[in-house]
Amino acid sequence: MSEKIQCPYCNHQFEYEAEAADQDETLHIECHQCDKEFVGTAHYEFYIDNIEKADCLNNGEHILRESIGIPKGFPMQYRCQLCDDHGRIEKFKRYRLNSLIAVKIPF
């Protein structure tokens, strides 16, 4: 992520390439014009989009599809099309696969 900032010492403006930083983390920044260090606080814009119902998170059934890229000989992995949870089919209590409803029965 890049941010245009201005040095508080010499007023030089430059692009600062931020590495991954935590929200509200204090960053130590060096101005390459005057070689002085200063600090700034990292802030990130947070938003959520693609809001949809996920009945599988509310005792509904997961709609599973086979995961791609599982090496031959390994157990097949599945991913829910609604909540994006993934794992072996035994992980899911209620699921639909190929239009069939199945319920995991504890032994």
- Residues 68, 37 share a domain: no
Residue 89 predicted with pLDDT over 80: no
- Residues 35, 63 share a domain: no
Distances (CA, A) of 97 to 62, 64, 70, 89: 9, 6, 18, 10
Question: Comparing 24 with 99, which gets the higher pLDDT?
Answer: 24
Average pLDDT along the chain? 78
Distances (CA, A) of 51 to 82, 96, 100: 11, 22, 26
In the chain, the percentage of residues whose pLDDT exceeds 90 is 17
- Residues 30, 61 share a domain: no
What is the structure's pLDDT at 46?
61
What is the structure's pLDDT at 1?
60
The number of distinct structural domains making up the chain is 2
Rounded to whole angstroms, the Cα distance separating 83 from 61 reads: 11
What is the structure's pLDDT at 107?
45
Q: What is the pLDDT of residues 32-59, one digit of tens each?
A: 999 999 998 877 776 667 778 888 888 8
Question: Comparing 40 with 3, which gets the higher pLDDT?
Answer: 40
What is the structure's pLDDT at 98?
52
Domain that holds residue 14: 2-41
- Residues 60, 35 share a domain: no
Q: Is residue 81 part of a domain?
A: yes
| pTM > 0.75 | no
